[in-house]
Amino acid sequence: MATYSSNSYLTEYGTEMTANATYIYNYFKSRGWTKNAICAMLGNMQRESTINPGLWQNLDAGNTSLGLGLVQWTPATKLIDWCNSNGLSYTNITAQCQRIIYELNNNLQWIATSNYPESFKQFTKSTKSINYLTYAFLKNYERAGIEAANQRVQHANYWFNHLSGGGVNPSYTPRLNSDGMQGNFHWYGSGNPFYVGDYGLPNCTCYAYGRFWEIGDPNNTGENNPTSLSTGDAYEWYNHQDDYERGQDPQLGAIICFGGASPGHVAIVEEIHDNGVIVTSNSAWRGSYFYLETLTPDANGVYHYQGSSYYTSQGFIYNPFAGGGDDPVEYNKKKHYNFVLFNRRKREQQEWIRKNLMKS
């Protein structure tokens, strides 16, 4: 999806603004934000920057004492320094979305007020009215000198009425059936450490590894093998040291890890709906070759595998390739991910059989 970044005002509800708004909507929706929260933020962004990541306050490019970007970070160095330290372009729409996620995860920028006492995380999950949430973002996050609150509310309602989607990023292709899996090297080949001899599926670890790889290798060329993922039991994956970021919020293409009891379970997030409901794709040792499961978080935001009281979610391992397009590749270069294809030697395969035959 093409997006736009320039030091100019975008036409209200025009092609460029709509493209940017749609990108932002899909970006945050895929990370579990409610439509209400996203559109409330978009209404504020439109007032601040015409939803243009390249916009400098008063079009005064280079004046770092003023605001810059989607939410007009002020002074601009707040955004610029962070992007530079992370190898990102500070006028890039994805980089600025990542900055907002960084602020969310690190309790930055958002200061709850008495009239809007929600935390930033509570805001992202809220289904309160668009008007209320638009004011909450204005008062708690923007704290604008010129509020123009009615305009922000008008814009937020426009986006709520004109953007749609059930949490499925159009650049992400969910796997909702087993088509093309049988014999596919992502699951049936030495590049998958859980495939040994002629055995691959059913097995939750073999499946999750292969699906995570498939997302980064949609053309079946063998690239982007996630070799640093755990080769242990499922309950060991979340605490394993690898190349991937983690968190408690679902994202498309992420591995959801269940612990609480050995051997645990791992699955892949394929869809995200309102209120944190997710659809996962799965396989199970000595069970089903492939199946879907819809999970609803409990009051504490914890997911329970098949309703189990002891298989509870530890968190999510995020897939940098799930967004599609060029952004994940740029992101991986910044993180220095090592996606080198590997083949296990026969001796290592036999050792794995002896140690891990009874994995989930």
- For 56-114, the pLDDT digits (tens) are 999 999 999 999 999 999 999 999 999 999 999 999 999 999 999 999 999 999 999 99
Percent of the chain at pLDDT > 70 equals 86
Residue 158 shares a structural domain with residue 215? no
Q: What is the pLDDT of residues 165-224, one digit of tens each?
A: 433 344 578 899 999 999 999 999 999 999 987 788 999 999 999 999 999 888 899 999
What's the confidence (pLDDT) of residue 169?
45
**Cβ neighbours around 25 below 10 Å, total:** 23
Q: Which residues of 239-264 are buried (b: 16+ CB within 10 A; e: fewer)?
A: eeeebbbbbebbbbbbbbbbbbeebb
Note down the domain range covering 314. Answer: 204-356
CATH number at residue 144: 1.10.530.10
Residue 147 shares a structural domain with residue 96? yes
Q: Could you say which of 107, 137, 162 is where a domain stops?
A: 162
pLDDT at 33 over 60: yes
Residue 139 shares a structural domain with residue 74? yes
Question: Is residue 81, in this structure, part of any structural domain at all?
Answer: yes
Ramachandran region, residue 345 (left: φ > 0; alpha: ψ -120 to 50; beta: rest): beta
What is the pTM assigned to this prediction?
Answer: 0.52
More confident: 47 or 131: 47
Residue 37 shares a structural domain with residue 149? yes
Residue 214 shares a structural domain with residue 292? yes
Band of the pLDDT at 329, cuts 50, 70, 90? Answer: very low
Residue 236 shares a structural domain with residue 333? yes
What's the confidence (pLDDT) of residue 62?
96
Q: Which residue has the tokens 């050792």?
A: 351
What's the confidence (pLDDT) of residue 336?
29
How high does pLDDT run on average in the chain?
Answer: 85
Question: Is residue 333, in this structure, part of any structural domain at all?
Answer: yes
Span of 179-183, 254-258, 351-355 with lowest mean pLDDT:
351-355
Span of 24-38, 114-128, 195-209, 314-328 with lowest mean pLDDT:
314-328
pLDDT at 333 over 60: no
Band of the pLDDT at 129, cuts 50, 70, 90? Answer: confident
Q: CA–CA separation, 359 vs 323, rounded Å?
A: 30
What's the confidence (pLDDT) of residue 164?
64
Residue 213 shares a structural domain with residue 352? yes
Question: Is residue 250, in this structure, part of any structural domain at all?
Answer: yes
Question: Is residue 196, in this structure, part of any structural domain at all?
Answer: no
Question: Is residue 193, in this structure, part of any structural domain at all?
Answer: no
Q: Which residue has the tokens 């638009």?
A: 134
Choosing from 12, 16, 48, 351, the catalytic residue is: 48
pLDDT at 340 over 60: no
pLDDT at 344 over 60: no
Residue 157 shares a structural domain with residue 226? no
Q: CA–CA separation, 267 vs 288, rounded Å?
A: 13
Number of domains in the chain: 2
What's the confidence (pLDDT) of residue 301?
85
Residue 107 shares a structural domain with residue 232? no
Q: CA–CA separation, 162 vs 117, rounded Å?
A: 28
Question: Is residue 301, in this structure, part of any structural domain at all?
Answer: yes
Q: Which residue has the tokens 């859980």?
A: 194
Span of 8-22, 41-55, 94-108, 166-180 with lowest mean pLDDT:
166-180
Q: CA–CA separation, 176 vs 250, rounded Å?
A: 17
Q: Is 236 a catalytic residue?
A: no
Query: What does DSSP assign to residue 129?
Result: -
What's the confidence (pLDDT) of residue 252?
86
Span of 69-73, 141-145, 207-211, 251-255 with lowest mean pLDDT:
251-255
Residue 319 shares a structural domain with residue 261? yes
Q: What is the pLDDT of residues 150-165, one digit of tens each?
A: 999 999 988 988 886 4
Question: Is residue 269, in this structure, part of any structural domain at all?
Answer: yes
Cα 194 to chain centroid, rounded: 26
Kindly tell me the sign of the dihedral angle through the C-alpha atoms of 330, 331, 334, 335. Answer: negative
Residue 100 shares a structural domain with residue 209? no
CATH number at residue 345: 3.90.1720.10
Question: Is residue 8, in this structure, part of any structural domain at all?
Answer: no
Residue 37 shares a structural domain with residue 139? yes
Average pLDDT for residues 323-334, to the nearest whole number? 33
Largest CA distance in the chain: 69
